[in-house]
């Protein structure tokens, strides 16, 4: 498996992957809008591909904000159903975290499974002073403070604009 940055020619295959990974069309529609948004971070959006160049997994990152501080919003992330539980999602997460850390980002924030993301160091966002856009998300709204994070980074979290249309 090879992990690399997503490129524009990958998008039809990525969209097909996300449609296969998620039964509802919400994620694929969101992804299309994120690709076109000014908040899209191609340098932090990654594919996992097989030796024969089939895209097996994908994760997108977009600019987001904690109060007025820029941060990273991660997701959606998806793996082809027949390739799940083989470490592809974990590899994409580790690579995304490393890339964000290398770029000096202060935090990665996401909405996701409390069974999956804590293994990468994610904690409930409110425990580090980040308020959720929707309080009903509870502990599923998580953050990973990176080395650039400090106590002065606090406030309401705001995703990239396409998320507000969900």
Question: How far apart are the C-alpha atoms of 6 and 8, rounded to whole Å?
Answer: 7
Q: pLDDT tens digits for 85-108?
A: 999 999 999 999 999 999 999 999
Q: What is the pLDDT of residue 25?
A: 86
Domain count, the chain: 1
Q: pLDDT tens digits for 31-85?
A: 999 999 999 999 999 999 999 999 999 999 999 999 999 999 999 999 999 989 9
Nearest CA among 132, 108, 134 for reference residue 120? 108
Band (138; pLDDT cuts 50, 70, 90)? very high
Q: Which residue do the tokens 């990665």 mark? A: 108
Band (142; pLDDT cuts 50, 70, 90)? very high
Structure-token pair, residue 44: 């932090």
pTM: 0.94
Give the CATH number of the domain where residue 72 resides.
3.40.630.30
Which residue range forms the structural domain that includes residue 103?
A: 2-165
Residues 6+ apart with CB under 8 A from 88: 1, 48, 56, 57, 79
Predicted confidence (pLDDT) at residue 156 exceeds the cutoff of 90:
yes
Predicted confidence (pLDDT) at residue 165 exceeds the cutoff of 90:
no
Cβ contact 64:72 at 8 Å: yes
What integer best gives the mean pLDDT of the chain?
Answer: 95
Count CA within 13 A, CB hemisphere, residue 81: 6
Structure-token pair, residue 7: 């490129």
């Amino acid at each position: 498996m090879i992990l690399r940055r997503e490129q524009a020619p990958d998008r039809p295959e990525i969209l097909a992957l996300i449609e296969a990974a998620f039964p509802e069309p919400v994620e694929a529609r969101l992804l299309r809008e994120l690709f076109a948004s000014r908040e899209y971070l191609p340098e932090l959006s990654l594919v996992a591909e097989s030796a024969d160049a089939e895209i097996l997994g994908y994760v997108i990152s977009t600019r987001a904000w904690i109060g007025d501080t820029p941060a990273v919003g991660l997701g959606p992330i998806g793996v082809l159903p027949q390739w799940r539980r083989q470490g592809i999602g974990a590899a994409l997460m580790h690579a995304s975290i490393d890339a964000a850390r290398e770029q000096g980002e202060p935090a990665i924030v996401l909405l996701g499974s409390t069974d999956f993301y804590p293994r990468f160091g994610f904690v409930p966002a409110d425990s580090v002073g980040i308020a959720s856009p929707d309080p009903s998300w509870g502990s599923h709204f998580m953050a990973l403070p990176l080395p650039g994070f400090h106590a002065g980074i606090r406030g309401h979290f705001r995703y990239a604009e396409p998320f507000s249309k969900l």
